[in-house]
């Protein structure tokens, strides 16, 4: 007897907020052309969106930043405060100010930042439309996590490896995708200004947003943050961010090496590439952290750090916006421990101080 067919999932309901008539109609075409999505409404102002959200209860919102009256940043804050809903910023890339505003929107609770489409004709246009539709569909299924609930989350962890206390890391490498900006701000913001390790990180984000992301993160944390350049020396207490559309590795002389190799796990820069280089150069002295994000980038590289005797941390599902990357690392045995985002920096500081590290769960075979 054959098993019953799976019940088809209803399309995810989309609210578009865009003041440009041309771009509004482009986005409407994107949504209407994808069977996974259903267009609820397309409005020109944040005030209209705030009026409609409690009545329509969309599954996801496409939000512009520059709107007449209330801007998209304030609209994002108000929606996340009163009617938490997955929000995707669809923004222009007109210089540092727009990028800075987009970073603040991410901090306010938006899940992703996409560049506005300039058109949908031809093969390139079809790929842009598919990318926007897929992002809206994926984000529509993300359980929205209120920041205040994350901060109030009681301490709990899942130790997967009984680690000796003689841990002496010489570098901290971090990576994230969706939800990464706020996670990085939390982890790095909890580290002191005199933190004793060089820090390198990969964030999956459009290349045009990376300079602004580094500037925004620099304003959020005590440590200096800057976009990495080829040949730049690793320095204790400095955070170097992988630039857009280039892989970042660490060299044997303690320098940054950038290259244009093919994407790994569909990403460039890739967490796997960075983590693997840390494993190769620093061995047991590498400390790797994999935060929120979808997909599996970083899993193999994090596993290499652990295989070389280094220490690895993944973000726990209780705080991860998307538990895809850290969850895959757990399943692959690449993680030494899983922690809520607000416990990662204190755990790192305990490691640096040589304090006992609490673990529980099965020991490493």
Token pair 């929606």 is found at 79
Active site residue 204: yes
- 158-159 and 337-339 strand pairing: antiparallel
Of 287, 354, 324, 313, the residue nearest 160 (C-alpha): 313
Q: Is 94 exposed, middle or buried (0-12, 13-18, 19+ CB in 10 A)?
A: exposed
Measured CA to CA, the distance from residue 111 to residue 333 in angstroms comes to 27
Measured CA to CA, the distance from residue 49 to residue 67 in angstroms comes to 11
Catalytic residue selected from 91, 102, 108, 177? 177
Catalytic residue selected from 34, 272, 285, 297? 297
Active site residue 323: no
Q: Is 103 exposed, middle or buried (0-12, 13-18, 19+ CB in 10 A)?
A: buried
Active site residue 177: yes
Measured CA to CA, the distance from residue 283 to residue 268 in angstroms comes to 23
Which strands form 112-115's sheet, in the order they lie side by side?
37-43, 12-17, 60-63, 87-91, 112-115
Backbone angles phi, psi at 162, to 5 degrees: -80, 105
Catalytic residue selected from 64, 102, 204, 277? 204
Positions annotated as catalytic residues are: 177, 204, 297
């Amino acid at each position: 007897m054959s098993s019953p067919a799976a019940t088809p999932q209803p399309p995810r309901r989309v609210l578009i907020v865009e003041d440009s008539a041309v771009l509004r109609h482009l986005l409407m075409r994107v949504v209407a052309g994808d069977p996974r999505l259903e267009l609820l409404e397309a409005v020109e102002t944040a005030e209209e969106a705030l009026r409609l959200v409690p009545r329509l209860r969309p599954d996801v919102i496409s939000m512009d930043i520059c709107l007449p009256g209330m801007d998209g940043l304030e609209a994002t804050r108000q929606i996340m405060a009163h009617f938490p809903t997955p929000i995707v910023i669809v923004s222009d890339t007109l210089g540092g100010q727009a990028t800075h505003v987009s970073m603040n929107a991410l901090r306010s609770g938006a899940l992703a930042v996409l560049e506005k489409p300039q058109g949908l004709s031809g093969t390139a246009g079809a790929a842009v439309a598919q990318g926007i539709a897929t992002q809206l569909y994926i984000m529509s299924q993300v359980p929205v996590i209120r920041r205040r609930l994350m901060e109030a989350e009681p301490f709990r962890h899942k130790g997967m490896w009984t680690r000796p206390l003689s841990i002496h890391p010489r570098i901290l490498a971090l990576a994230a995708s969706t939800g990464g900006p706020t996670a990085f701000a939390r982890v790095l913001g909890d580290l002191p200004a005199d933190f004793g390790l060089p820090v390198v990180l990969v964030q999956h984000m459009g290349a045009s947003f990376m300079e602004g992301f580094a500037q925004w993160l620099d304003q959020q944390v005590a440590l200096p943050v800057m976009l990495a350049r080829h040949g730049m020396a690793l320095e204790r207490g400095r955070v170097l961010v992988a630039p857009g559309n280039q892989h970042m590795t660490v060299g044997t002389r303690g320098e940054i090496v950038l290259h244009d190799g093919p994407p790994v796990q569909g990403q460039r820069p890739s967490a796997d590439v960075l983590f693997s280089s840390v494993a190769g150069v620093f061995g047991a002295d590498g400390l790797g952290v994999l935060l929120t994000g979808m997909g599996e980038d970083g899993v193999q590289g994090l596993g290499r750090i652990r295989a070389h005797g280094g220490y690895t941390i993944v973000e726990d599902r209780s705080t991860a916006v998307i538990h895809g990357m850290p969850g895959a690392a757990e399943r692959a045995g690449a993680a030494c421990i899983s922690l809520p985002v607000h416990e990662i920096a204190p755990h790192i500081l305990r490691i640096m101080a040589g304090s006992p590290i609490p673990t529980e769960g099965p020991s490493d075979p």
